[in-house]
Chains A and B, each alone.
Chain A
Amino acid sequence: MPKKVAIVGVGMQKFEFCKNETVEEMIFDVTRNALENSRLSKDDIDAVVFGSAVDAFCGIHNSDKVAIDASAGLLKPTMRNSTSGSTAISTPILGYTHVASGLYDLVLVVCFEKMSENESAQAVFNTVYDEAFVRPIGLNVPIQCSLEAREYLNRYGLTERQMAKVSVKNRGNALSNPYAQLPMKLTVDDVLASPCLSWPVKLMDTAPVTDGARALILASEDVVRELDDDPVWVKGVGRGADSVWFMGRSNKALGRLDYAYLAAEQAYEMAGIRNPMADIDYAEVYDPFTYKEMQHCEALGLCPEGGAGRMIDEGISLKEGDLPVNASGGLQGEGNPIGAGMSRLCWCYLQVKGQAGACQVPKDVNTAVANGWGGMYQYNAVMVIGRD
């Protein structure tokens, strides 16, 4: 039997473009913050897991070694995890397995990305694709997402206007988030009038380039009661990975994220959740582009398949809605330091604890879900957390 695992604290810092801290200093900042919030010290931590997506963003290969000293990892077991954008959630899942296995009682998870220092984040993205068949075509992320978004809108009859509403919601929500890079009061027309990157994706459908880090601390059921009398448990975890050969794989329907549905099914089965629309109180979903929030709401069962347009039209995912999504601002409003998208999970924790400050939603939150997405239409990782 795996041990039960709880989150006992998170470490936050402001997300911004061109941070003056080094990667090591950023990691120290969030690690110290997580330790303080959990009332723990460096020596209490048994092991550390790091997550970051692509070393070429910060220009330091094997950047995990930079994290050792700053993450309370000195002379301890440490391990780095990297699954593109889904690093954001697969890294805390790796931390979870460290504790659930019974090997460690207290594990610190830290995720980071410094993206502002390279000449062009998009030129870095081009280097993640296949060298013989894809890279020479000059693919980058906006056009990769245009290919996916066009198929998605076409498949389910969704609109640019519905996408724009997600941007208005998330950037507006970020006005309440002290760590946010891009809080904005926008109208749907502002989003639709922003420069088109690659149809249907406009500038205001796109998360910014960001530097930032997040940390959290996981505790086993054996030690958690000394730290927290109302623990937030990890209830379910799931991951799915599809083939990098998106043109050849069986599921070529880019609009339907089979691998994300699979990840969600695993996490919900483990958490005993049969009806996510009723059983999930709050969600933070991965939204580097507005349509990705819509796709992920569907894959996570927060609305019916193809129903994400209606979900935003009817205000269900608004902060005051029945099933609020990204009340923190999400990647759109808070910023998008790829691996540090673990912020989605941190905000789920803060919502369950009632510690989300001005981002706190006006309803009881006992169960929340977060996900991460990445690769060549490939990876998804899902974590469900909540009270007993």
Chain B
Amino acid sequence: MAKKKPVMTVDGEIQISYKWSLGKAGERFFTELRDNKKIMGTRCRQCGRILVPPRIFCEECFVEDMEWVEVKPQGTLLTFGDSYFSTDGKRLKEPWMLGIVRLEGSNGGLIHFIGESSPEDLKIGMRMEAVFKKKPEGNIMDILYFRPLKD
């Protein structure tokens, strides 16, 4: 096949920093996570669903009738992924793992790193627990990762 003529380009970049507000629900969630190592959800008083991540309204009942509840830092692995490529598409020697964990006592959960295990150790439906950072800062990385629950 004939080699394609290189495309003539002009180079540039878009580099813009942001400060995103965490919002009414996010502020409470990340404050409790930072100060008390607690994972909080909001319970809809109409349908009883406990939302994690918490929100100030229930999208199904469409009401702002919520109360704050603590949920357990343990739950069920709904699914997981192990990837050999970094977020920006670079090849890795060792895979990194993400999972979605439904937290006990809630109808929701978190997507987070999976640690202290290899893909072969994991199974959909197994129980997991959160491992917290020693010096929390008020962001989602205050949970370092989830690991298989040790009895």
Which residues of A come within 8 Å of B, CB atoms?
Answer: 18-20, 56, 59, 117, 119-123, 126, 131-134, 136-140, 142-144, 146-148, 150-151, 154, 195-199, 243, 245-250, 252, 254
Nearest opposing residue in chain B for A126, CB measure: B87
Cα A248 to Cα B54 with chains together (Å): 9
Whether the Cβ atoms of B85 and A122 lie closer than 8 Å is: yes
Whether the Cβ atoms of A248 and B51 lie closer than 8 Å is: yes
A-B contact pairs, 20 of them (CB 8 A): A18-B4, A20-B8, A120-B88, A122-B87, A123-B89, A131-B18, A133-B110, A133-B140, A137-B112, A137-B113, A140-B85, A146-B82, A147-B111, A151-B78, A154-B79, A198-B82, A243-B59, A245-B108, A248-B53, A248-B107
Whether the Cβ atoms of B55 and A151 lie closer than 8 Å is: no
Whether the Cβ atoms of B51 and A132 lie closer than 8 Å is: no
Residue of A20, A143, A243, A254 contacting most chain B CB atoms (<10 Å): A143
> Which of A56, A117, A132, A147 contacts B139 (CB under 8 A)?
A132
Whether the Cβ atoms of B87 and A199 lie closer than 8 Å is: no
The residues of A that contact B87 with a CB separation of less than 8 Å are 122-123, 126, 138-140
Q: Is B102 an interface residue (CB 8 A)?
A: yes
- With both chains docked as a complex, state the minimum distance between the C-beta of A110 and any C-beta of chain B, in angstroms: 22
Q: Is B98 an interface residue (CB 8 A)?
A: yes
Cα A342 to Cα B86 with chains together (Å): 30
> Which of B8, B79, B80, B98 contacts A139 (CB under 8 A)?
B98
The residues of A that contact B12 with a CB separation of less than 8 Å are 59
Cα A148 to Cα B88 with chains together (Å): 20
Q: Is B40 an interface residue (CB 8 A)?
A: no
Whether the Cβ atoms of B7 and A18 lie closer than 8 Å is: yes
Which residues of B come within 8 Å of A, CB atoms?
Answer: 4-5, 7-9, 12, 14, 18, 20, 22, 26, 30, 49, 51-53, 55, 59-60, 78-89, 96, 98-100, 102, 107-113, 119, 124, 139-141
- With both chains docked as a complex, state the minimum distance between the C-beta of B14 and any C-beta of chain A, in angstroms: 6
Nearest opposing residue in chain A for B124, CB measure: A154
The residues of B that contact A199 with a CB separation of less than 8 Å are 81-82, 119
Nearest opposing residue in chain B for A196, CB measure: B84
Seed contacts A59-B12, A147-B79; 15 additional CB < 8 Å A-B pairs: A117-B9, A119-B88, A122-B85, A122-B88, A126-B88, A132-B22, A133-B140, A140-B83, A140-B89, A142-B83, A198-B83, A246-B111, A248-B109, A250-B49, A250-B60
Whether the Cβ atoms of B140 and A146 lie closer than 8 Å is: no
Whether the Cβ atoms of A247 and B52 lie closer than 8 Å is: yes
The residues of A that contact B84 with a CB separation of less than 8 Å are 195-198
The residues of B that contact A122 with a CB separation of less than 8 Å are 85, 87-89
**Given A132-B140, A137-B98, A150-B80, A248 contacting B85 (CB threshold 8 A):** no
Cα A67 to Cα B146 with chains together (Å): 46
Nearest opposing residue in chain B for A200, CB measure: B81
The residues of B that contact A59 with a CB separation of less than 8 Å are 12, 14
Whether the Cβ atoms of A146 and B81 lie closer than 8 Å is: yes
> Which of B5, B18, B55, B81 contacts A147 (CB under 8 A)?
B81
Whether the Cβ atoms of A150 and B124 lie closer than 8 Å is: yes
The residues of A that contact B51 with a CB separation of less than 8 Å are 245, 248
Whether the Cβ atoms of A134 and B111 lie closer than 8 Å is: yes
- With both chains docked as a complex, state the minimum distance between the C-beta of A130 and any C-beta of chain B, in angstroms: 8
Residue of B52, B89, B110, B112 contacting most chain A CB atoms (<10 Å): B89
The residues of B that contact A138 with a CB separation of less than 8 Å are 86-87, 96
Whether the Cβ atoms of B111 and A247 lie closer than 8 Å is: yes
Cα A134 to Cα B100 with chains together (Å): 11
- With both chains docked as a complex, state the minimum distance between the C-beta of B103 and any C-beta of chain A, in angstroms: 9
The residues of A that contact B100 with a CB separation of less than 8 Å are 147, 246-247, 252, 254
The residues of A that contact B53 with a CB separation of less than 8 Å are 133, 245, 247-248
The residues of A that contact B89 with a CB separation of less than 8 Å are 120-123, 140
The residues of B that contact A143 with a CB separation of less than 8 Å are 81, 83, 98
Cα A147 to Cα B77 with chains together (Å): 11
The residues of B that contact A19 with a CB separation of less than 8 Å are 7
Nearest opposing residue in chain A for B109, CB measure: A247
Whether the Cβ atoms of A151 and B111 lie closer than 8 Å is: no
Cα A258 to Cα B102 with chains together (Å): 19
The residues of B that contact A20 with a CB separation of less than 8 Å are 5, 7-8
Cα A133 to Cα B98 with chains together (Å): 13
Whether the Cβ atoms of B111 and A123 lie closer than 8 Å is: no
Cα A123 to Cα B89 with chains together (Å): 7
